[in-house]
Structure 1
């Protein structure tokens, strides 16, 4: 059963199952501050769990590892839900997701933002020290299709395990669009390092960072 109707939920339709609860509903805006929005997700999760006793797969965020966001409402909310799941669910898998790349979704996600700025020939700013962990939306279903029944009570960091420089991403997008990107560089930005389980490393094995980035631009730009 799939709970949700957003980008992640729609990507899971091919692996929908009565025996697995795919909880992909919740606050999508990481800058959200209204407690009512977070409480809505929490209430829905509790209600859904009371009516379904199968395996739960919950989608969290890699931002939990970002020291600059430890006090954000979004990260604190995700940590609260993760803790609740670990205390109240017998069989679960929590996937902490990186920067998703797919068709549609939030226009302010990294790929969508850069695509819009370059297409419209707008000027933007690049933080030289920033790095990003990317994830093809389709890889979520592919991974779960082969691994979800084998992983019990695990919390996994899930993204392609390479820290992309923003200029690498901009370069790939502008090449696909065939327009130059207009941007200023400032000596700011940071990134956080995370550990990746052997299951994740194996899933992405054989694919180079350049090939993965090219695949993303070919599919979604």
Structure 2
């Protein structure tokens, strides 16, 4: 059973199961401040858990929970509240805290989509030299779950390719794929946050180097 209709929900269709509750509906804008949007997701989750007590729930949270600069944001506080609610009200759950998703479509403001659009349209943008990001191919979410979900109970995992890409690395592969030059102003700003990855995550991505993983993302989605 899949709840949601966005990028993550669509990617799970090939592993949908009567024994699972994939909760992939949520507030997509991390800058959202309207209480009604967060309440809508929370109420949907509560009803889903109440009506599917026998199912294992898989919830998709965010790695931003580890970002100290966002601890007071409505989005992160909301995600923490939902995680805690699931832990206290489900007997069998798996929470995946997802990094920066790369896929076809989805939120145009995600890092990869934003950079692709700016470079494609010859727009100048500001590059934060100190920023680093954790990326993940949308297809790897369902692949990982197909291999590991049934073996995990009551776990919370950080999920992304376990390498911190600086923005120049990402821009370089997009430039190559588009055969276009990026125009940007460099500023000494930006940051990143360290997260720990479970051995299952490291094993899942072990056969692909960081450089090759980024090339694969560019080949698939540009």
Alignment match, 1:33: 33
> Aligned pair 1:45/2:45, yes or no?
yes
Alignment match, 2:23: 23
Alignment match, 2:70: 69
Alignment match, 2:191: 190
The TM-score, its normalising length taken from structure 1, stands at: 1.00
Flag as ranges the 4+ runs of structure 1 deviating above 3 A: none
Cα distance in 2 for partners of 1:179, 1:19 equals 47
Alignment match, 1:220: 221
Once superposed, what is the RMSD of the aligned Cα atoms? 0.4
In the alignment, structure 2 segments of 5+ residues that lack a partner are none
Cα distance in 1 for partners of 2:22, 2:90 equals 13
Alignment match, 1:138: 139
Residue-pair matches, total? 221
Cα distance in 2 for partners of 1:77, 1:197 equals 24
Secondary structure, aligned partner of 2:151:
coil
Secondary structure, aligned partner of 1:48:
helix
Deviations 1:90-142 (A, max 9, x none): 00000000000000011111111000100000000110000000000000000
CA drift at 1:206: 1.6
Secondary structure, aligned partner of 1:183:
strand
Cα distance in 2 for partners of 1:120, 1:87 equals 48
Cα distance in 1 for partners of 2:115, 2:26 equals 25
In the alignment, structure 1 segments of 5+ residues that lack a partner are none
Cα distance in 1 for partners of 2:221, 2:98 equals 18
Alignment match, 1:173: 174
